[in-house]
Amino acid sequence: MARAATTSDAFNAIAEPQRRRILTLLTERERPVGDLARELGMTQPGTSKHLRVLREVGLVSVRESGRERVYALDAEGLRPVQEWIGGFERYWNDTFERLNSYVRELQADEERGDA
Amino acid sequence: MARAATTSDAFNAIAEPQRRRILTLLTERERPVGDLARELGMTQPGTSKHLRVLREVGLVSVRESGRERVYALDAEGLRPVQEWIGGFERYWNDTFERLNSYVRELQADEERGDA
DNA sequence: ACCACCCATACCCATATGGGTATATCTTGC
DNA sequence: GCAAGATATACCCATATGGGTATGGGTGGT
């Protein structure tokens, strides 16, 4: 089974170091596959495979430019992760963080109109 | 190789759905293994294995109570993930951020009595 | 048309992994 | 001390996965 039911979501995608590096590289600017492969120091096929995973979970988008495939970050896909993590911020022990998440909660409330 | 070099970090730990469920369950209260196993609907050994992973990356702590092992959330371990994700917030469609600053403006106005 | 280049896919391999069953260890209750 | 309960581990299996090497399909330049 290994990672039951092919869990292909953002959580799984960012579990891989190289994929995280790719996403980080893409924050600077969009890049063609070859570029990424060089930066990662791995083969083009290997890179393509990681890109495929990222594509499938919607973390990157592709644009064809001549014979190149230019990949760009689609950070929206990280939302689920950020939201999930957000649910734990209040459990961090750091005083500063407590205050921080408290403030964030207040803001969230107001954005929801709860005031 | 599969997930090269045994990447055992928080990112990897939360890539598994059941483990995320465990962490979520632990936000409510600490729980002994049996409890978790029942909640997850899986065997005790299976649950223990997930708990081991979570333990090794510091996402949970254990306390012995008689013949039980009570697991508790240690959210600090999620910090790295939160920080990494944080680096991408500015690339999300600005909608959220815009709203955020808008709210902040409103707050400022009200505090000043501008209403 | 031909060739060089950029990629995605198909395969192949070795290992990591999730889940289950059997079992050893330790603790509490008699 | 002994039986029962709670766990962690050892093992076994099937599959997912990361990485590499071939290879096929487009695209641009000449």
A44-80 as b/e: b if 16+ CB within 10 A: eeebeebbebbbebbbbbbeeeeeeebbebbbebbbe
Residue B7 vs residues A18, A36, B3, B12: alpha-carbon distances, Å: 11, 21, 6, 7
Residue B52 vs residues B33, B47, B84: alpha-carbon distances, Å: 11, 9, 24
Quick one: average pLDDT of B61-76?
A: 95
Count the Cβ atoms, other than its own, within 10 Å of residue A10. 21
User: Is B85 part of the contact surface with chain A (CB cutoff 8 Å)?
Assistant: yes
User: What is the model's pLDDT at position B8?
Assistant: 84
Q: What is the pTM of this model?
A: 0.80
DSSP letter, residue B115: -
- Listed in order, strand segments (DSSP E) in chain B are 31-32, 60-65, 68-73
Kindly report the average pLDDT of chain B as a whole number: 85
pLDDT in tens, A3-55: 555 568 999 999 999 999 999 999 999 999 999 999 999 999 999 999 999 99
pLDDT in tens, A71-98: 999 999 999 999 999 999 888 765 555 5
pLDDT at A104 exceeding the cut of 90: no
pLDDT at B115 exceeding the cut of 50: no
Which residues does chain B have within 8 Å of residue A87's beta carbon, measured at their own beta carbons? 24, 27
Quick one: average pLDDT of B98-115?
A: 56
Quick one: average pLDDT of B79-106?
A: 74
User: What is the model's pLDDT at position B107?
Assistant: 59
Name all protein residues with C-beta less than 7 A from any atom of nucleic acid chain D.
A 1-3, 6-8, 12, 15-16, 18, 42-43, 45-46, 49-50, 53, 64, 66-67; B 1-4, 32-35, 44-45, 48-49, 51-52, 62, 67-70
Phi/psi zone of residue B60: left (φ > 0), alpha (ψ -120 to 50 degrees), beta? beta
pLDDT in tens, B21-45: 999 999 999 999 999 999 999 999 9
User: What is the model's pLDDT at position B101?
Assistant: 55
